[in-house]
């Protein structure tokens, strides 16, 4: 238990400043004038919502007691689940946006607009809220049948609801989209890698897709698979790995936007 408290403590110590600084950079330097920036800001918000829930996880695993009521337990559990779902979708949106910019740069200009990006982001958060309602009701009913004030261990592995299949299905679909996008972009860039003037930018583009796949493989797939097995021994370590995505996402921001620390004066022109 104390090991998990230490791991979550490290994630909190890294994730909070990294995402806070990333959000400040986006708002200060990039002005949300590109689809990429819009999706990344929403990804930062998702990570920050996860980070602010970590102190209670640290307290729980450090002391073995849960000091809050059922509402607190359900809320923090939802913060975690919402992060996995929204992060996987926003990362996929970033992947698709890069695909359109590389493979269909002219035909996709009317689609790759900030207004369309905000509409897509709003739909994602609406989906998250809609799923939260029945899921939260099911968690409350489950907690009412437990005599001990225990939160994360039981609620993540034994919860009897069909909605438990939503997250694994969503993650596997998003992974499939990322794999297809990665393949198409690799084929497109393969014939142009001899252009030394743009090779660095193209390497960054490929790194974005590789990082997305690594994120799914390390952070999203294990915890989603553990939900289907109802195994406590698998759920707790995979939850730690999933939570670490809030520390890895800032790397995605750095490689996705040219001149990440510099102010962008015009529209998004990078690949």
- Band (255; pLDDT cuts 50, 70, 90): low
Dihedral Cα 86, 182, 209, 199, nearest 10 deg:
-150
Which has the higher per-residue pLDDT, 8 or 252?
8
Rounded mean pLDDT, 155-183: 78
Question: Where do the structural domains in the chain lie, given as residue ranges?
Answer: 2-256
Residue 114, token pair as written in the block: 């900030």
Give the Å distances, CA to CA, from 258 to 173, 181, 249.
Answer: 29, 20, 16
Instruction: Give the pLDDT confidence of 120-148 residue by residue, as tens digits.
Output: 999 999 999 999 898 888 888 877 776 66
Residue-wise pLDDT for 202-220, tens only, equals 777 788 888 889 899 999 9
pLDDT at 65 over 90: no
The pLDDT assigned to 190 comes to 74
Q: Considering the entire predicted model, what is its pTM?
A: 0.86
Q: Helix, strand or coil for residue 155?
A: helix
Residues contacting residue 60 through CB under 8 Å, at least 6 positions apart: 66, 151, 152
Judged against a pLDDT cut of 70, whether residue 103 lies above it is answered with yes
What pLDDT score does 41 carry?
93
- Using pLDDT thresholds of 50, 70 and 90, give the confidence band for residue 158: very low
Euclidean distance between CA atoms 4 and 264, whole angstroms: 41
User: What is the arithmetic mean of pLDDT over 79-100?
Assistant: 92
**Band of residue 68 on the pLDDT scale cut at 50, 70, 90:** confident
pLDDT of amino acid 136: 86
What span, in angstroms and rounded, lies between the C-alpha atoms of 133 and 253?
A: 31
**DSSP letter for each residue of 182-245:** HHHHHHHHHTTTT-TTTHHHHHHHHHHHHHHHHHIIIIIHHHHHHHHHT-HHHHHHHHHHHHTH
Which superfamily does 2-256 belong to? Rhodopsin 7-helix transmembrane proteins (1.20.1070.10)
pLDDT score at 162: 64
pLDDT of residue 51: 94
When pLDDT is cut at 50, 70 and 90, the band that residue 25 belongs to is confident
User: Where on the phi/psi map is residue 138: left (φ > 0), alpha (ψ -120 to 50), or beta?
Assistant: alpha
> Lowest-pLDDT range, 46-60, 100-114, 199-213?
199-213
* Phi (first) and psi of residue 259, to 5 degrees: 50, 55
How far is 160 from 147, CA to CA, in rounded Å?
Answer: 17
């Amino acid at each position: 238990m104390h090991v998990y408290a230490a791991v979550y403590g490290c994630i909190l110590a890294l994730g909070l400043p990294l995402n806070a600084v990333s959000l400040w950079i986006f708002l200060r330097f990039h002005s949300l004038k590109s689809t990429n920036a819009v999706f990344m800001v929403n990804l930062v918000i998702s990570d920050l919502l996860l980070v602010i829930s970590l102190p209670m996880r640290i307290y729980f695993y450090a002391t073995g007691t849960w000091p809050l009521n059922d509402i607190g337990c359900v809320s923090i559990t939802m913060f975690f689940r919402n992060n996995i779902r929204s992060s996987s979708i926003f990362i996929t949106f970033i992947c698709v946006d890069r695909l359109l910019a590389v493979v269909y740069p002219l035909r996709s200009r009317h689609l790759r607009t900030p207004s369309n990006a905000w509409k897509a982001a709003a739909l994602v958060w609406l989906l998250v809220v809609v799923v939260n309602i029945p899921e939260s009701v099911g968690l409350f009913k489950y907690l009412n049948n437990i005599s001990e004030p225990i939160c994360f261990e039981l609620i993540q592995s034994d919860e009897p609801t069909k909605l438990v299949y939503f997250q694994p299905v969503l993650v596997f679909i998003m992974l499939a989209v990322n794999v297809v996008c990665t393949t198409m972009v690799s084929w497109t860039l393969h014939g142009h890698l001899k252009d030394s003037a743009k090779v660095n930018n193209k390497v960054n583009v490929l790194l974005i897709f590789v990082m997305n796949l690594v994120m799914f493989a390390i952070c999203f797939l294990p915890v989603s698979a553990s939900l289907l097995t109802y195994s406590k021994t698998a759920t707790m370590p995979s939850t730690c790995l999933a939570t670490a995505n809030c520390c890895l996402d800032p790397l995605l921001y750095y490689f996705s936007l040219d001149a990440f620390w510099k102010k962008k004066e015009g529209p998004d022109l990078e690949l």
